[in-house]
Amino acid sequence: MPIAFTKMHGAGNDFAVIDARAGRPLLDASRVARMGDRHRGIGFDQLLTIETADAPGCAYAYGIWNSDGSPARQCGNGVRCVAAWLRRAGALGVGAARLQSPAGPVTVRIGADGEIAVDMGAPLFAPAGIPFDAPAEADRYALALGDEIVQIGAVSMGNPHAVVEVTDIADPRVDRLGPALTAHPRFPAGVNAGFVQVLGEDAVRLRVHERGAGWTLACGTGACAAVAVLRRRDRVGPRVRVALPGGMLTIAWEGPGHTLWMSGPAAFVYEGEYLD
């Protein structure tokens, strides 16, 4: 059976979006990895399925798979694309709606101009919840990576993130550290590795090596994680523009006790059918 999909992206983080509201096609790790192959498949960073919700107050649910076939629990750029897809399908209107993600409900706000903002919830810094192997919660942790000791911040945005502050995200050292950090044994479920360069209190540059997808042009939860870690250290203010290789996201976080808002683009590319 061919699988109909919509190709979308959010700041260059690209997705195949499948309408599974009437039933999900058979998806398993090996099939998703075949679909994600950029030469023999559709090619994407993540596959998103749009499904009916069973959580109270949620209009719809979405599922997330990385391109290597592993399941994921949250995807910031993905949730904006899901909301834009539902809006285009006439299933959501302008205003606020709750969507059920594998990590729990999120609120999306669709503007009349098509702009989509998402309440991504509160960042979670407790190591056990990330999960990260550390005796106690801290602003920074020293991590051995090969023959280097790297200072990281660790946080969950529904999925695990390690954040490293660097002086230049274009430094070739970052290319080397990304894959090593993603697979570090102190993150038993793997981790999304973000490298952030502070430009000022309201602007940073960021590159993310994603668990299950490698280097991506943008990572929404990675942008949230970077701002959460930096804001907790008083390195940035409450509203930060995050420049990623594929585009710009805006993150607003007042600080502990508040939820974090993300806004950015969600673009349609084409409709297709996967024949496998």
Ligand X SMILES: N[C@@H](CCC[C@H](N)C(=O)O)C(=O)O
Annotated binding-site ranges: 13, 46, 66, 76-77, 159, 192, 210-211, 220-221
Count CA atoms within 13 Å of residue 217 on its CB side.
Answer: 13
How far apart CA 40 and CA 165 sit, in angstroms, is 36
Question: Of 70 and 201, which CB lies nearer to ligand X in the complex structure?
Answer: 70
100 part of the interface to ligand X, by CB under 6 A: no
Q: Of 50-58, 73-81, 102-110, 173-181, which segment contacts ligand X by CB under 6 A?
A: 73-81
Residue closest to 100 by CA, chosen among 115, 117, 83:
83
Count CA atoms within 13 Å of residue 119 on its CB side.
Answer: 16
Site for ligand X in 155-184 (CB under 6 A): 159
Query: Which one of 36, 76, 121, 127 is in contact with ligand X (CB under 6 A)?
Result: 76
Three-state DSSP class for 124? Answer: strand
213 part of the interface to ligand X, by CB under 6 A: yes
Site for ligand X in 2-21 (CB under 6 A): 13
- Report CA-CA distances (Å) from 274 to 7, 40, 160, 269: 11, 11, 31, 15
How far apart CA 19 and CA 48 sit, in angstroms, is 9
Question: Of 86 and 191, which CB lies nearer to ligand X in the complex structure?
Answer: 191
Residue 266 CB, nearest distance to ligand X (Å)?
A: 11
192 part of the interface to ligand X, by CB under 6 A: yes
Residue 255 CB, nearest distance to ligand X (Å)?
A: 21
Query: Which one of 107, 211, 236, 264 is in contact with ligand X (CB under 6 A)?
Result: 211
- Report the 10 Å Cβ neighbour count for 231: 21
- Report the 10 Å Cβ neighbour count for 174: 19
Give me the residues that bind ligand X (CB under 6 A), please: 13, 45-46, 66, 72, 75-78, 159, 192, 210-213, 216, 219-221
